[in-house]
């Protein structure tokens, strides 16, 4: 993580230290400090996991500096941290169309079905982009596969309709990847298989 987000977080902590002011000004300062933290997370160009925490490839969770420093923001529990910092930051990322960041934040907050909804939206949009085979699209595809595998290992109760759509979108992305790599025969095979599955699911065959 760059030094700028770290410095900004420290400034937000300083803002929250004026909580004991009279006539409710302290509460306003705490609310403002929390809003600053959320905005810093959304604006961080990279490495925001250092701020909020994240999930390792094996699904175990690690904390970020903001969670370690919860008392400075007058947050009393992991649940309050999730509800006051992580979820609103995820919503801000989603509103700003930073869908990969939103997906990871919702995932960190344990909102699996919101994650699936965002994955569907992001994967669907990626299919129509000019740079459909670019690095951002590949990162999204990798994240989707990792998240689904993580949910399956944990036995999460998921919206299976959403899961099926994601798997179809991932196959469509696979066809694009093969085509971009020059494997037109492989891309055609994946596309035909996907078409067959869609027809079968809708009772056309």
How many CB atoms sit inside 10 A of residue 106's CB?
A: 26
**What Å distances lie between residue 80 and 77, 84, 96, 109, CA to CA?**
5, 6, 24, 11
Residue spans per domain, the chain: 1-99, 111-205
Let me know if 199 is exposed, middle or buried by CB neighbors in 10 A (0-12, 13-18, 19+): exposed
> What secondary structure, in 3-state letters, does the chain show?
CCHHHHHHHHHHHHHHCCCCCCCCHHHHHHHHHHHHHHHHHHHCCCCCHHHHEEECCCCCEEECHHHHCHHHHCCCCHHHHHHHHHHHHHHHHHHCCCHHHHHHHHHHCCCHHHHHHHHHHHHHHHHCCCCCCCHHHHHHHHHHHHHHHHHHHHCCCCCHHHHHHHHHHHHHHHHHHHHHCCCHHHHHHHHHHHHHHHHHHCCCC
Does the model's pTM come out above 0.85? no
| Residue whose tokens read 């907050």 | 109
Rounded to whole angstroms, the Cα distance separating 47 from 31 reads 24
Query: Mean pLDDT across the stretch 2-17?
Result: 79
Query: Mean pLDDT across the stretch 166-178?
Result: 84
The whole-chain average pLDDT of the chain stands at 82
45-103 tens-digit pLDDT: 666 788 888 887 777 788 889 999 999 999 999 999 999 999 999 999 999 988 888 99
126-137 tens-digit pLDDT: 887 656 566 778
Q: Which two tokens stand for residue 157?
A: 């109760």
The percentage of the chain sitting over the pLDDT mark of 90, rounded to a whole number, equals 31
pLDDT for residue 99? 87
**For 54, phi and psi rounded to 5 degrees?**
-170, -170
138-168 tens-digit pLDDT: 888 888 998 898 888 888 888 899 999 899 8
pLDDT for residue 2? 47
The gap from C-alpha 137 to its chain's centroid, in whole angstroms, comes to 14
The gap from C-alpha 198 to its chain's centroid, in whole angstroms, comes to 28
Close Cβ partners of 138 (under 8 Å, ≥ 6 residues apart): 177
């Amino acid at each position: 993580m760059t030094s700028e987000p770290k410095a900004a977080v420290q400034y937000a902590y300083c803002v929250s230290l004026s909580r004991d002011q009279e006539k409710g000004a302290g509460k306003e300062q705490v609310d403002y400090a929390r809003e600053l933290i959320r905005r810093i997370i959304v604006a961080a160009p990279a490495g925001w996991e250092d701020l909020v925490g994240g999930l390792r490839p094996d699904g175990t969770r690690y904390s970020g500096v903001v969670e370690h420093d919860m008392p400075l923001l007058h947050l009393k529990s992991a649940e309050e941290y999730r509800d006051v910092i992580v979820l609103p930051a995820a919503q801000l990322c989603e509103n700003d169309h930073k869908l990969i960041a939103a997906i990871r934040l919702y995932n960190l907050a344990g909102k699996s079905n919101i994650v699936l909804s965002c994955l569907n939206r992001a994967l669907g949009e990626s299919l129509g982009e000019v740079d459909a085979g670019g690095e951002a699209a590949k990162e999204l595809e990798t994240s989707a596969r990792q998240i689904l595998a993580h949910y399956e290992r944990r036995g999460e109760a998921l919206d299976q309709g959403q899961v099926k759509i994601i798997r179809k979108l991932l196959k469509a992305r696979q066809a694009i990847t093969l085509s971009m790599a020059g494997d037109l025969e492989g891309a055609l095979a994946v596309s035909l298989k996907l078409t067959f599955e869609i027809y079968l699911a809708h009772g056309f065959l």
